[in-house]
């Protein structure tokens, strides 16, 4: 049978708890499909910072061995990084998030897909009025290796007039840059995807203020002409933030730059009921990486109550995009749906009406989804 090598990156906080469920599911998928998923854990984020420091190596959130393993793997599955332990704001401090940015950049993963699906059973879990969720099914295409994230980040000390009341003080600089080709490749992907979906691309920018956005908008118009069967539109990001809660079903494919996509996708996750539902695929030139859209959730870490579904649906995306195992991917998505339809809920999806005997821990949710997968496969 075929063997796929998966570089698994548990990271920090709830990371190890949720990725454990995804690995168990992968094993079940392997058994059902007669393929082997050979998972190998590597260090990233705060866990890597601590380990490299302890070993007396160069302190790093992405040790060279991790990057090498990711490059050599058939796919990377990441959980989450970061936490209060590593929140040193002093300039020059090594932060867990640098590990994530560095692996994305080094693997050339310029495209981040965040599908927002409303599950019928979770309609009442969303804070939005249920009728607003009718027909919601959108794909957020986020640029991932450019913009503010990868501009210059700099601090200047003792700058005249930068302090309070005219005194000398600190000044901080972050720059936002985009080249035409960086914009083109993500917007093109959005048009290609829309052509296979409902045929609408909403390109989100701040062209009334930002030069990068004006370039972004020009590229969108050019591509719009190349794809006559796709309806292309521009939307300002502040309006988009409002439209996402006022009238989310108008969207099909939403394409935007790095920072806007980060913020809008967390907002959009609440259409599904919880940030714990939102998976993502990071694609580009190197090994593809699959990760939940959420973070390490330090507020619930170690309690065994995190929702593993975003991580599990990231496996679904891996099966689809990296291994062309569409049937297995459909069964994973279907298994999640079956479990939700049966009323099972992790804490983030539960409310006062959720019966006590339907409330699940992280590993119990993993058990249910694996059983539902096996029943389908
Ligand atoms: P977060 O996404 O970790 O958590 C936000 C809120 O959502 C919290 O209340 C959390 O409990 C809840 N939540 C998130 N995922 C959940 C899940 N699977 N199940 C149940 N509840 C869940 O955002 P934050 O608290 O702002 O950030 C915490 C740390 O995570 C920071 O260090 C941040 O940089 C990092 N972060 C990492 C990633 C990543 O690794 N991809 C993404 C976002 C944030
Ligand atoms: C995400 C996260 C990351 C990002 C952070 C942790 C660097 O918020 O994947 O959405 O902003 O890209
Ligand atoms: Mn984010």
Nearest partner of 43 among 7, 92, 84, judged by Cα: 7
> In the annotation, is 206 catalytic?
yes
Catalytic residue among 58, 124, 238, 327: 238
Best mutation site among 101, 143, 298 for ligand 2 pocket (most ligand atoms within 8 Å of CB): 101
> In the annotation, is 227 catalytic?
no
Q: What is the DSSP string of 110-155?
A: -EEEEEEE--GGGGGGSSS-GGGGTT-EEEEEEE-SSGGGGS-EEE
Query: Which uninterrupted H or E stretch holds 202?
Result: strand 200-205
- Whether ligand 2 lies within 6 angstroms of the CB of 97 is answered as yes
Catalytic residue among 12, 262, 331, 338: 262
Distance (Å, rounded) from C-alpha 280 to C-alpha 320?
12
Distance (Å, rounded) from C-alpha 351 to C-alpha 71?
42
Report the separation in Å between the CA atom of 8 and the middle of ligand 2, taken as the mean of its atom positions: 18
Find the Cα–Cα–Cα–Cα dihedral 91, 111, 334, 268, rounded to 10°. 60
Distance (Å, rounded) from C-alpha 76 to C-alpha 288?
6
Do residues 118 and 274 lie in contact, with contact meaning Cβ atoms separated by under 8 Å?
no
Distance (Å, rounded) from C-alpha 49 to C-alpha 63?
9
- Whether ligand 1 lies within 6 angstroms of the CB of 338 is answered as no
**Which 8-state DSSP code applies to residue 298?**
T
Nearest-CA residue for ligand 2 atom 11 is: 262
Atom of ligand 1 nearest to the CA of 100: 40
E-strand stretches of 42-119: 75-80, 111-117
The verdict on ipTM greater than 0.95 is yes
Collapsed DSSP state (helix, strand, coil) of residue 39: strand
- Whether ligand 2 lies within 6 angstroms of the CB of 339 is answered as no
Neighbours of ion ligand 3 (CB under 5 A): 262
Give the closest ligand to the alpha carbon of residue 80.
1
Find the Cα–Cα–Cα–Cα dihedral 344, 346, 347, 348, rounded to 10°. -110
Establish whether 348 is an annotated binding residue: no
Burial of 63-77, coded b for 16+ CB within 10 Å and e otherwise, reads: beebbebbeebbbbb
- Whether ligand 2 lies within 6 angstroms of the CB of 66 is answered as no
Which residues face 159 on adjacent strands? 169
Distance (Å, rounded) from C-alpha 205 to C-alpha 215?
10
Domain boundaries, the chain: 1-126+273-377, 146-257
Q: Is the pTM of this model over 0.95?
A: yes
Query: Which uninterrupted H or E stretch holds 157?
Result: strand 153-159
> In the annotation, is 367 catalytic?
no
Whole-angstrom distance between the N-terminal and C-terminal Cα of the chain?
18
Which residues have CB under 8 Å from 138's CB, separation 6+?
Answer: 115, 116, 248, 251, 252, 253, 254, 268
Establish whether 297 is an annotated binding residue: yes
> In the annotation, is 4 catalytic?
no
Do residues 237 and 210 lie in contact, with contact meaning Cβ atoms separated by under 8 Å?
no
Q: How many beta carbons lie within 10 A of that of residue 83, not counting itself?
A: 21
- The pair phi, psi for residue 273, each rounded to 5°, is 115, -30
Establish whether 299 is an annotated binding residue: yes
Catalytic residue among 105, 119, 191, 206: 206
Distance (Å, rounded) from C-alpha 332 to C-alpha 29?
9
Distance (Å, rounded) from C-alpha 157 to C-alpha 169?
6
Distance (Å, rounded) from C-alpha 342 to C-alpha 176?
47
> In the annotation, is 252 catalytic?
no
Atom of ligand 2 nearest to the CA of 291: 9
Establish whether 135 is an annotated binding residue: no
List, run by run, the mean pLDDT of 10-residue segments along the chain (377 residues). 97 98 98 98 98 97 98 98 93 93 98 97 94 96 98 95 95 97 98 98 98 98 98 98 98 98 98 97 98 98 98 98 98 98 98 96 98 97
- The pair phi, psi for residue 374, each rounded to 5°, is -65, -35
Instruction: Provide the pLDDT for residue 92.
Output: 81
Atom of ligand 2 nearest to the CA of 265: 10
Please tell me the class of the 1-126+273-377 domain. Answer: alpha beta
Instruction: Provide the pLDDT for residue 86.
Output: 96
- Whether ligand 1 lies within 6 angstroms of the CB of 275 is answered as yes
Establish whether 296 is an annotated binding residue: yes
């Amino acid at each position: 049978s075929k063997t796929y090598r998966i570089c698994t990156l548990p990271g920090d906080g709830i990371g190890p708890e949720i990725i454990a469920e995804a690995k168990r599911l992968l094993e079940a998928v392997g058994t059902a499909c007669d393929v082997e998923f050979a998972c190998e854990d590597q260090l990233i984020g705060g866990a890597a910072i601590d380990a490299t420091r302890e070993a007396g190596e160069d302190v790093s959130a992405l040790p060279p061995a991790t990057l090498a393993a990711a490059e050599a793997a058939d796919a990377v599955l990441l959980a989450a990084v970061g936490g209060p332990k590593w929140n040193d704001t002093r300039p020059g401090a090594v932060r867990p998030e640098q590990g994530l940015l560095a692996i994305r950049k080094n693997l050339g993963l310029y495209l981040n897909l965040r599908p927002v699906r409303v599950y019928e059973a979770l309609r009442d879990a969303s804070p939005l009025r249920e009728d607003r969720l009718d027909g919601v099914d959108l794909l957020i295409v986020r640029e991932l290796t450019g913009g503010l994230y990868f501009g210059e980040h700099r601090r200047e000390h003792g700058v005249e007039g930068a302090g309070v009341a005219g005194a000398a003080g600190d000044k901080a600089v972050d720059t936002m840059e985009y080249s035409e080709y960086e914009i083109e490749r993500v917007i093109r992907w959005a048009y290609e995807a829309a052509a296979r979906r409902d045929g609408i691309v909403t390109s989100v920018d701040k062209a009334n203020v930002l030069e990068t956005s004006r370039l972004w908008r020009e590229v969108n118009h050019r591509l719009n002409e190349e794809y006559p069967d796709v309806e292309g539109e521009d939307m300002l990001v502040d309006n988009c933030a409002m439209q996402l809660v006022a009238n989310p079903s108008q969207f099909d494919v939403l394409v935007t730059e790095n920072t806007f996509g980060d913020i809008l996708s967390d907002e959009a996750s609440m259409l599904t009921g919880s940030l714990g539902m939102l998976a993502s695929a990071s694609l580009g030139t190197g090994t593809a990486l699959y990760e939940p859209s959420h973070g390490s959730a330090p507020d619930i870490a170690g309690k065994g109550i995190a929702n593993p579904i975003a991580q599990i649906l990231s496996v679904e995306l891996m099966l689809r995009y990296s291994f062309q195992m569409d049937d297995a991917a459909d069964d994973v998505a279907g298994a999640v749906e079956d479990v939700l339809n049966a009323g099972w809920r992790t804490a983030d999806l539960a409310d006062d009406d959720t019966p006590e005997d339907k409330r699940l821990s992280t590993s119990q949710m993993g058990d249910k989804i694996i059983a539902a997968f096996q029943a389908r496969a």
